[in-house]
C-alpha cells in the first residue's frame, strides 16, 4: 500500500470522527444531553467493533471493511464481530475475495440511485466438526433485478442467498485450515 493510500484512509477516518463529534457538540449546544449521550454511545459501539476487527489479525479484510463506504458509493456498511478467535490470519485472503465477489454481484443488481444499508456479521462456526467463520451480509433496499450468486469456480464455497421485499441475505462459511 502506498503512503498516499494510507493518508487517504486516515483523512476519511478523521472526517468521520469529526462528523460524530460535531453532532454530539450540536446536541450539547442545543441543551439536549440525552441525544448527545445516545450519539456518543452509538459511536463508542462502532469503535468497539472496529477494535475487535483489527485485533483478529486479518489486515486485508479489516482494510476492506474500513474502506467499504468509500469503495461502494451507494452502500453504507455496519459490521459486528462475533468470534472469540484472535488469529484468523489464514482466512484473510479468502475473506477479502469472497466479500468482494459477493458485493460485486450485489452491486450489479443494485439501483445506482438508491442507498443500501449493509450489515455484515462475522460469526464463529460452532457446529460439531466444523471450524471456521461465517460471513453474513444483510442488505436492505430494492434491487433492479434478482440476485443470483453462483459458486466461484476457483473456490469450493457455496454462498446461501435469500431475497425478500426488504432486501437480501447472503451467507458463506469459510473453514479454517
Domain CATH for 13: 1.10.287
DSSP H stretches of helix in 55-91: 59-66, 68-71
Judge whether 176 lies within some domain. yes
134 & 177 share domain: yes
Judge whether 67 lies within some domain. no
Report percent pLDDT > 90 for the chain: 58
CA–CA gap between residue 160 and residue 136 (Å, rounded): 9
Domain that holds residue 18: 1-54
Residue 105: closest CA among 59, 151, 142, 39: 151
Strand partners, 120: 79, 137
CA–CA gap between residue 114 and residue 77 (Å, rounded): 14
- Predicted local confidence at residue 153, as pLDDT: 53
Residue 124: closest CA among 175, 66, 53, 63: 175
Residue 165 has pLDDT above 70, yes or no: yes
Judge whether 45 lies within some domain. yes
55: which 3 cell numbers?
A: 485485533
- Predicted local confidence at residue 150, as pLDDT: 66
C-alpha distances in Å from residue 91, one per residue of 62, 76, 77, 144? 12, 24, 21, 32
Residue 154 has pLDDT above 60, yes or no: no
Best mean pLDDT range from 46-50, 124-128, 157-161: 46-50
Judge whether 151 lies within some domain. yes
Cell 502506498 found at? 2
Judge whether 60 lies within some domain. no
CA–CA gap between residue 168 and residue 141 (Å, rounded): 8
Q: Where are the beta strands (DSSP E) in the chain?
A: 75-82, 116-124, 132-140, 160-164, 167-175
86 & 149 share domain: yes
- Predicted local confidence at residue 77, as pLDDT: 95
126 & 43 share domain: no
Number of structural domains (the chain) is 2
Amino acid at each position: 500500500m502506498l503512503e498516499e493510500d494510507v493518508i487517504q484512509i486516515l483523512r476519511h477516518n478523521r472526517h468521520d470522527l469529526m462528523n460524530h463529534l460535531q453532532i454530539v457538540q450540536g446536541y450539547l449546544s442545543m441543551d439536549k444531553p440525552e441525544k448527545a449521550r445516545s450519539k456518543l454511545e452509538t459511536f463508542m459501539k462502532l469503535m468497539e467493533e472496529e477494535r475487535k476487527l483489527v485485533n483478529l489479525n486479518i489486515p486485508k479484510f479489516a482494510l476492506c471493511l474500513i474502506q467499504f463506504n468509500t469503495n461502494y458509493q451507494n452502500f453504507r456498511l455496519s459490521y459486528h464481530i462475533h468470534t472469540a478467535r484472535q488469529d484468523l490470519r489464514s482466512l484473510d485472503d479468502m475473506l477479502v475475495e469472497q466479500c468482494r465477489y459477493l458485493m460485486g454481484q450485489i452491486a450489479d443488481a443494485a439501483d445506482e440511485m438508491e442507498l443500501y444499508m449493509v450489515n455484515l456479521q462475522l460469526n464463529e462456526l460452532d457446529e460439531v466438526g466444523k471450524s471456521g467463520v461465517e460471513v453474513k451480509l444483510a442488505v436492505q433496499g430494492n434491487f433492479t433485478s434478482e440476485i443470483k450468486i453462483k459458486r466461484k469456480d476457483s473456490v469450493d464455497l457455496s454462498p446461501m442467498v435469500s431475497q425478500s421485499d426488504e432486501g437480501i441475505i447472503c451467507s458463506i462459511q469459510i473453514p479454517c485450515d
